[in-house]
Structure formats: C-alpha cells, structure tokens
Structure 1
C-alpha cells in the first residue's frame, strides 16, 4: 500500500505542474500578438481557447520570429518565409499560412530572372553597396550623383535618370549595382539588365511567344538600368520597336531609366543611326536620343580600369 508521504509528494508535484500550466496559459493569452488576433473575432468561447491552445502557442512563436526577422535565408519558422494567420473554422481555432513580404519579393525576383536571363549580372555587382565603393577622387562626382539618385528616387512622380559615360572598366556598372541595391532596400523595384544580351534575348523571344511579356516587365519596372548600351549590334527593329517602345512608355509614366555606356550622347546617336539593312537613319536615332537626353543627367565616370587590378 502506497504511503501517505508518497501520495502527498505526488499531489504536490501535480499541483506545481498545474500551476505552471495555468501561468503559461495566462502568459500566452496576454501576449500582444495572440490577444490582438483573438479580438478580431466576434465570439471566441473558453472552450475554443482551451482546445486551440497549441495553435495559439504556434501562432505566438512564429510571429515573434517574424518580429525579429533574421532574413529569409535564416527564417526559423516551420515553413520558411511564411507567416501564420489565425482563423476560425467550424467553431475551432485554426492556422493558415501566407508568404511574408520578403518571401513574395524573393519569389517575384526569381520569376523575373528566370524569364529574362540577361538580368544575371556578376556577383560583385549584385552585392555592390555605396559603402563598398572605392574612395577615389576621379569617381567622386559620379558616386555623389549615384547616391543622390538612390536617396531621392520617386518613380511615377519624377522620371529623371542618369547617363554614366566612361571608358571600359572604370566602375560604371558597380555604381549602378550600388544604386539598385539601395533602391531594393527602400522597396523600389529595379531591373538591371546587360543591354546587348537583353536585346538578343528579345529577338529570340519572338519565337517562343514571350516577347510582349518580357517587354512589358521592362517597360513597367519602377527603375530600369540599361547597362552598356551601345555595345549591342543595332537594328532598326531593336531601336524602334524595343528600345523606342520602352523609353516612350517610361517617359509617359515618369519611370526613371539609367544608362551606362562607353559612348557619349553624340557617339550613341551615331551608333543608333545605323541600320542592319544598310544606310543611315538619322531622324529615328535623333528621336531616341532626344528622349534619353531630356530625361537623364550626363555624368562622366573617370579613373583607372578596375578590372586590371
């Protein structure tokens, strides 16, 4: 027969466990995330709460992870990149999950890169920041212009962009990468495309039926960076139906376009005037250049060739 002392010890132990459970329940229901979620429903009975304690605990834990988000790649939630939403299903508390803003942005960028391969740029450009820029006096003015644009960009309200001109390897694309990453931190959608590859891809996309979708994506980007314009093999169709259509839409919608080139304005106009069918089409080239000149500030990027270091 069990001794009275043993029974008392077990009773005391069970009592402490129940006290801990009660305290944990109270703390759970007082949690700001949980209490706010429960308030959205007209009626939540005690029975619903008791049956849904595990769901409420999961909801609390996951949302606290989100409030201290370490980034999508380190997301500690059960489903990486997803946030819980408290629901009531047939009188029972339940959870549904939806992608967080970081997950949505990541998936969107992934789809865009899969659609337009020329979005791929060197890794050092993808990770470029203003803090990582070389402190070289020759590029001081270009760096200042780039930072000013990144801090003040207002797509849809101000369509003015930049035209970075300079020799091969002086860091024009690196500056644009810093702009793109700064804008991304501010939630501004930025497409940085390598222009020669992009134009080739647009020509090939006619055959697979993706031309219009790709063209619309680039036309409608909040900020567009056309890297190394002038390095492409030009044709009348590329100039008028691709580049011309993109710039016309962006001009009307006040969406900034930025350029890098080894050509200055006059040299780019000469390049655009040549037709693959032979002859020179100065008027059509001039129309394109008027749009570029009117909506960009010309910036000379000087310095040594970074790629020879």
Structure 2
C-alpha cells in the first residue's frame, strides 16, 4: 500500500489538478482586495503568500460573498454575518473575522429590544413612537409632550419621579408609555411595561407555585416600571398591601421611577383601592398607597377621541 506521502506526490503531479490550482492561484492573487493588501504590507513576502494560499482562497471566497451581500438572513459565509479581513502579524499572514455592518446593526437592535420587557402587552405597543401619536386634541398634545419630556429626563437611581396618565378608555395612554419605552432605549435605560390586571392575577396564581417573590423582584427592580391600566383589577387587601405596596415602597427607596396609566384620577383610584373583594372598606390603607403614588408622579390628563371605536 502506498504511503500517504507518495499518494500526495502522485496527486500533485496530476496535470489537470495542477492546471486548476494555477488558475485558482491567479484568481486569488489578482483579486483587487488581496492586491491592495500586498501593496499596503510589503513586509509580507511572496513566500508567505504562497505558503498561505489556502487562507487567501478562503478569504477571497468569503469576501466576495460580502461584495455581493444577499442580506444577513441569506449570508452564505461559514460564519453568518461575519466578514473576513487580512492581517499582517510580524510579516505573517492571517485571516480574522469580525461582524459585518448588517450583523452589528442586528445585534444592536436585539440589544435595544432587550431593554424593553413586557408582561401581557400587545406587540404594537412595544413598537410605539411619538411620531405616530395623533396630535388632534390639545390634551393629547400636552400629554405627549409631558411623556417625551419624561423620556428625555428620567434618571433611575437618582430621581423616582414618574407620571400618572389618566383619562377615559381608548385615548392613547398605553400607546404613549410604549413610546416612552422606545425613547428610553436611545438612552440605554431599560423599562418594563406591565398590564396591571393580568399581573396581579398572575401574582395570585403564584401563591400556589411559590414564585411570588421571584415575580415581584423582576417587577420592582425595573429601571423604569410602567403599570398599565391600574385600577382595572379586582381589588384585594393582599394585592394592594403585600404586592403593590411592597413594590412601590422598594422603588421609592431605590429612587426608581414608575409610570401609571389609569381610567381613574387620583381620588377615584384611592376609592377603588379602599374596597376589597370581601366587601370591606379600608380607607387608611388605600390612602397610604396613594400617598406614595401622588408623591412620586406628575398627573397627566389625556383626552380626545376613543381610538378603539374608530
């Protein structure tokens, strides 16, 4: 049996293979980006180029894919979204890969999206923008400006002041907090939007599986917390005092701002919180909760057409 070495020698003597190799070699060395590299790095010798012909072939193949980029999802490179570059290291030739522009943009978009968390919030709210807030009513214009100002000035860890957006159904309160979340992304501030009725319902269910503390920690530690439609939930003393009260107290101590939306104004929400499922009235406990809310929010009234009926 012939040795591997002799088999390779025989293979190298094959004229067809040799001719094809020379053609590929010429294609590689005539590739404009490789020629530019040679001109810029005279320390890389012809011998080094010859000894690394397979690396150069790999570089040319992958770089040509980038030259005719079909888009990130259809990238044919060995490492999708990565672009090859030639480097000279003390006269030695090497090929390195780095994320291409499209890959960097996609990674940045994912990073930004990770800054917005949500619980039970529709997708269109997570894509909200102040550019799309209709300015067809003086109240909506004023509210939009207040929300934008908050997004520009919010300072988690230093200032716990948030907003309390209140008004009738369908006037765009939830959409505005989605727009706030996206503006905060530009400042690298994370936020969490929580649909309050579903969250409080989930907390009751968490009693049975022992995840109450875990769920509460996730919400109370958000840099900017947005409680959507607070007051729409069925009130219970436990939810009011041991969930909402604990969350708000923690955020007060940590100076973390909270934004609310509600169909109730301050007084109406206080009345709502005073009633429990069991029919009792606990005005003092409701007042304690509302003192925290009032002290750390700016009330913003939102009015206008009901978007849900259009």
Q: Would you call these one fold, judging by a TM-score over 0.5?
A: yes
Distance across 1 between alignment mates of 2:139 and 2:211: 42
Counting matched residue pairs gives: 269
2 CA distance for matches of 1:290 and 1:267? 14
Are residue 122 (structure 1) and residue 132 (structure 2) matched? no
Q: Please give the per-residue CA displacement for 1:169-211, whole angstroms capped at 9, x wherever unaligned.
A: 1211121121122223433211111110110011112223332
Which region of structure 1 is more displaced relative to structure 2, 217-226 or 202-211? Answer: 202-211
Determine the C-alpha separation between the residues in 2 that align with 1:48 and 1:13: 17
The alignment partner of 1:298 has SS state of strand
Q: Is the 8 A contact 2:115 2:185 kept in 1?
A: no
State whether residues 142 and 299 of structure 1, in contact with CA within 8 Å, keep that contact through their aligned partners in structure 2.
yes
Of residues 184-193 and 148-157 in structure 1, the stretch that sits farther from structure 2 once superposed is 184-193
Shift of 1:279: 2.1
Cα distance change of structure 1 residues 229 and 57 upon mapping to structure 2, 3 Å threshold:
farther
**Cα RMSD for the two superposed structures:** 4.1
Q: Point out the more displaced range, 93-102 or 170-179.
A: 93-102
How far apart, CA to CA, are the structure 1 residues paired with 2:271 and 2:167?
17
- Structure 2 partner of 1:5: none
CA distance in 2 between counterparts of 1:200 and 1:250 reads 21
User: 2:148 is matched with which residue?
Assistant: 147
Q: In the TM superposition, what are the counterparts of 1:288-299 in structure 2 within 5 Å?
A: 288-299=289-300
CA gap 1:20/1:133 in 2 versus in 1, 3 angstroms: same
Q: Give yes or no for the alignment of 1:24 onto 2:33.
A: yes
**More moved, 206-215 vs 92-101:** 92-101
SS at match of 1:143: helix
Tell me, in whole angstroms, the C-alpha distance in 2 between the residues paired with 1:30 and 1:186. 43
Spell out the pairing of 1:131-280 with structure 2 (5 A cutoff). Answer: 131-136=131-136, 137-280=138-281
Gaps of 5+ in 2: 1-19, 42-47, 86-93
- Pair 1:47–1:270, CA change in 2 (3 A): farther
SS at match of 1:299: strand
TM-aligned CA deviation for residue 95 of structure 1: 6.4
Gaps of 5+ in 1: 1-9, 36-44, 87-91, 114-118
Secondary structure class of the residue paired with 2:230: coil
Residues in 2 aligned to 1:13 and 1:93: alpha-carbon distance in whole angstroms: 22
Q: Deviations over 1:17-45 (max 9, x none)?
A: 46415x533545899xxx9xxxxxxxxx9
SS class of match (1:255): coil
- Any idea what the Cα deviations from partners look like across 1:231-252, whole Å, max 9, x if unmatched? 1011111111111111111111
Q: Answer whether contact 1:52 1:94 (CA < 8 A) is retained.
A: no
Q: Which protein shows a greater Rg?
A: 2
C-alpha contact (below 8 Å) 1:81/1:103 kept by paired residues: no
Map of 2:45 onto structure 1: none
Cα deviations across residues 99-146 of structure 1 (Å, max 9, x unaligned)? 94544555686xx66xxxxx2323432222111111122312111101
Query: What does residue 116 of structure 1 align with?
Result: none
Quick one: distance in 2 between partners of 1:79 and 1:269?
Answer: 61
Secondary structure of 2:299 counterpart: strand
How far apart are 1:216 and its partner, in Å?
A: 1.1
Q: SS at the partner of 1:164?
A: strand
TM-score, normalization: structure 1? 0.71
